[in-house]
Amino acid sequence: MAIEQTDTTVTISLDSDPSTSVTVLLHGANVLSWKVGGVEKLWLSEKAILDSSKAVRGGIPLVFPVFGKATEGPTAALPQHGFARLSPWEFLGKTESSPLTVQFGLGPESVPAALASAWPYDFTLVYTIALSETSLKTSMSVENTSTTAWDFQVLFHTYFRIPDVSTVAVTGLADTVVKDKVSKSEYTAAAADVTIAAEVDRVYENVAAPVTITSAGKPFFALERTNVDDVVVWNPWTKASTNMGDFAPAEGYQTMICVEAGSVSKWNALQPGSIWEASQTMTAL
Ligand code: TA6
């Protein structure tokens, strides 16, 4: 197994197939690339800002301690999606050879001061990335190292690369409670698979079934989840994508879909000294 480091990135690749690899930007511990046999599986904006000045538009941004923008409570002073994706993470090294596994860590001392003071709690995050022939598993361990309890939300904000948004569907979301940010409504998800023909921005709550992303009717990605019961589906479509200065190319919405495993429909309470863990496993089919 190969582990290559630069000042800003860590790239791991399989001995059995060096063209199967993952590249992680230390800023935000943001996965920028996941290749299977040399084929890129994630979408990254051509205008993604990678100089640590902003969250990365694409790959797998990490959301902690809040999903979205809170208007009240302890996270209300934080920017949208919290500070994990805005902070420099430490590369902790390799922990396993098979699957090839590496870890990254974040504590309050590394969070930019303005953000750390906006959420003054002690914590330790350990982010684990395991790469195998056709799968990528990302795991998050959240430890409360404070003397007081605090609440958090966490989400893997995965931008999947797809051939054509007009033929993509997400299965496994039927009969769940949906909070729809576009229609500003709440409803029960229909039985049909979720397709994209306009802007979609929905939280599907407590999704028990396995989730699959299909392309042209064929399974394209499988998404297995442990302890991240909610699934966010987002595609900015035309208007919202042109409103994002770091979203490129303009037609990029046609080759991406965010299907995001998270625990965001409620607050997770964590007692002092406790550890909360969750993971997603993405498989290219
Ligand atoms: O996960 C969906 C979402 O919450 C959308 O509402 C949209 O805001 C997207 O995240 C991107 O957010 P960002 O802060 O990265 O521009």
Q: What would the pLDDT profile of 131-180 be if each residue is shown by its tens digit? A: 999 999 999 999 999 999 999 999 999 999 999 999 999 999 999 999 99
DSSP for 160-172, written as a single string: EE-S-GGGEEEES
Return mean pLDDT, the chain: 98
Question: What is the 8-class DSSP label of residue 181?
Answer: T
Atom of ligand 1 nearest to the CA of 181: 6
Task: State the pLDDT at residue 181.
Answer: 98
Task: State the pLDDT at residue 1.
Answer: 59
Distance from Cα 68 to the centre of ligand 1, integer Å: 7
CB of 199 closer than 6 A to ligand 1? no
Distance from Cα 19 to the centre of ligand 1, integer Å: 30
Distance from Cα 204 to the centre of ligand 1, integer Å: 15
Residues in the chain: 285
Reported as a single tens digit per residue, the pLDDT across 109-122 is 999 999 999 999 99
Q: Give the C-alpha separation, 101 to 124, whole Å.
A: 19
Reported as a single tens digit per residue, the pLDDT across 65-115 is 999 999 999 999 999 999 999 999 999 999 999 999 999 999 999 999 999
| Mean pLDDT across 173-201 | 97
Residue nearest to atom 6 of ligand 1 (CA): 201
Q: Give the C-alpha separation, 37 to 256, whole Å.
A: 20
Q: Give the C-alpha separation, 104 to 28, whole Å.
A: 10
CB of 230 closer than 6 A to ligand 1? no
- Look at the pTM and tell me if it is higher than 0.95: yes
Looking at beta carbons, which pairs linking 209-212 to residues 24 or more positions away fall under 8 Å? 209/171, 209/172, 209/173, 209/174, 210/172, 211/170, 211/171, 211/172, 211/173, 211/259, 212/170, 212/171, 212/172, 212/285
Whether 260 is catalytic is yes
Q: Give the C-alpha separation, 247 to 241, whole Å.
A: 6
CB of 246 closer than 6 A to ligand 1? no
Distance from Cα 61 to the centre of ligand 1, integer Å: 10
Q: What would the two tokens of residue 24 be?
A: 């992680």
**What CATH architecture applies to the domain 2-284?**
Distorted Sandwich (2.70)
